Amino acid sequence: MTRARTGTVAMGDGLALGDDLVDAAVQAVGAALAQLGPGPAPDLAVAWVAGGDPDETAAALEAAASAAAAGTSLGCTAHGVVGAGHAVESDRAVGVWLARLPGVSVRSFHLEVLQTPESLAVVGMPDRRSSDVVGILLADPWSFPAEGFVEQSTDVLQGLPLVGGLVSGAAGRGDARLMVDGKVHGRGAVGVVLSGDVAVRTLVSQGCRPIGRPMTVTSSDGPVLHTLAGRPALERAHEAIDELAEEERALAMSGLHVGVAMDEYVEEHTASDFLARGIVDADSDAGTITVGDAMPVGSTVQFLLRDSASASDELDDVLARARQELGAVPLAGALLFTCSGRGRAMFPTPEHDIVAVRSALGLEHVGGFLAGGEIGPVEARNHLHTFTATLLAFESEP
């Protein structure tokens, strides 16, 4: 569906808890509409439902779409929801975010996977237009090749940035629910492409800090790192860990990652200069490390440590830089996709990220969900992340 309006930029967000998820959806929409204020119907509504079984989730998503009466609506199953300045995790709740976007075309889509004789094919993505600004994507990891699609999307979609997240909270294959334009699906991915008079900022906070020093990959086989700077990769990992204070070494057992430098020519790398990838396996006999991505020879990498303090500090740094770059430019609202591995698993409360975003950027209308993976661009290329806080912020003026 395509829809464009003229008028004043406005956004609203709502969150409601309750055993009756349909009623919670109507309440959340009502709260968001009250914030939106008088004027035309929203151009875009996004809803997230947590804590329900598939049928309850579907009914709540349909109710949210109907109550919002927006030109385009999206939604999905969630482990937790963000809205009204709060985050709710592992509870029955509905979060809703609404936007009135003057001069903006909103094209919705439902992506499905077809089996061809040679490979899998993804169908349903709108044709790229020169006026396209950003895409929002919600995907079911059980039925959609999210990593492959996202990693190839920058080239296939001619540089179009994608922001979003993977459905979380579903018990298993077939339990996820996705909604677009009031219709609920059990497979694939849904989203929108925004075109025209809209100015956005995309931010990705990977929640890590570098340890050790940057090194060149001198031998690798796909995701398997054999040597770094001419010595066994596992030996280099132990060197980086040994430099840590004793109380931090235990954190490295679960929080050690490998960061791939996005710009190898930076003189001094910070956490934001790396694309963080988890360590899948380590072979003490071979001295190798297996990472969740290909590690080409010649790449610059550095070990990263992820813990609550590092995640909090790095998010603050990313937000502070964004605020400095924006200067006096006001923001109307934002969508926040934060990992379900953050929340209470990383911080004292699930509200850490939403509180930081609202405070640093002076934002009121922020909606989102705790995702099973986050989608966002780093150095102008789209990537699928884990343990990140990813933000799509909308400027008040085109």
The dihedral built from the CA positions of residue 212, 308, 80 and 26, taken in this order, carries a sign that is negative
Question: What does the angle CA 347 – CA 384 – CA 128 come to, to the nearest 5 degrees?
Answer: 135
The dihedral built from the CA positions of residue 293, 295, 296 and 299, taken in this order, carries a sign that is positive
The per-residue pLDDT for range 195-217, each reduced to its tens digit, is: 999 999 999 998 888 889 999 99
Class of domain 209-305: mainly beta
Average pLDDT over residues 265-288: 82
d(CA 289, CA 283): 6
Q: Which residue has the tokens 């009623």?
A: 23
**Helices 233-242 and 246-255, packing angle to 10 deg:** 140
Q: Please state the φ and ψ torsions of residue 265, each to the nearest 5 degrees.
A: -100, 5
> Which CA distances in Å does 286 have to 99, 212, 218, 252, 283?
54, 21, 15, 20, 5
Q: Please report which residue ranges of 84-232 form alpha helices under DSSP H.
A: 146-156
The per-residue pLDDT for range 91-140, each reduced to its tens digit, is: 999 999 999 999 999 999 999 999 877 778 899 999 999 999 999 999 99
Which amino acid is it at 33?
Answer: L
Q: Comparing C-alpha atoms, which of 346, 363, 89 is closest to residue 203?
A: 363
Return the structure tokens found at 348: 């004292």
Bridge pairing between strands 72-78 and 44-50: parallel
pLDDT at 5 over 50: no
Residue 271: which pLDDT band, with cuts at 50, 70 and 90? low
d(CA 217, CA 302): 10
d(CA 63, CA 70): 12
Tell me if 93 sits within 8 A of 50, measured CB to CB: yes
H-run or E-run covering 119: none
pTM, to two decimals: 0.89
d(CA 119, CA 138): 23
The per-residue pLDDT for range 280-306, each reduced to its tens digit, is: 899 999 999 999 888 999 999 999 988
Q: Say what the pLDDT of residue 1 is.
A: 52
Lowest model confidence (mean pLDDT) among 202-206, 238-242, 390-394: 238-242
Which amino acid is it at 132?
Answer: D
Residues of the chain by 3-state class (helix, strand, coil), percent to 5? 25, 40, 35
Percent of the chain topping pLDDT 90 = 77
Tell me if 203 sits within 8 A of 295, measured CB to CB: no
Which amino acid is it at 246?
Answer: E
Q: Could you tell me the end-to-end alpha-carbon distance of the chain, in angstroms, rounded to an integer? A: 22
pLDDT at 185 over 80: yes
Q: Say what the pLDDT of residue 208 is.
A: 86
d(CA 114, CA 370): 29
Q: Please state the φ and ψ torsions of residue 168, each to the nearest 5 degrees.
A: -130, 165
Count of alpha carbons within 13 angstroms of residue 113, beta-carbon side: 17
> Which CA distances in Å does 88 have to 133, 141, 190?
31, 22, 23
Domain span(s) for CATH 2.40.30 in the chain: 209-305
User: Sheet harboring 86-89: ordered strands across?
Assistant: 86-89, 80-83, 366-371, 331-339, 389-395, 200-205
d(CA 336, CA 312): 15
d(CA 397, CA 394): 9
Lowest model confidence (mean pLDDT) among 211-215, 239-243, 263-267, 313-317: 263-267
Q: Comparing C-alpha atoms, which of 52, 210, 189 is closest to residue 125?
A: 189
DSSP track, 358-371: HHHHT---EEEEEE
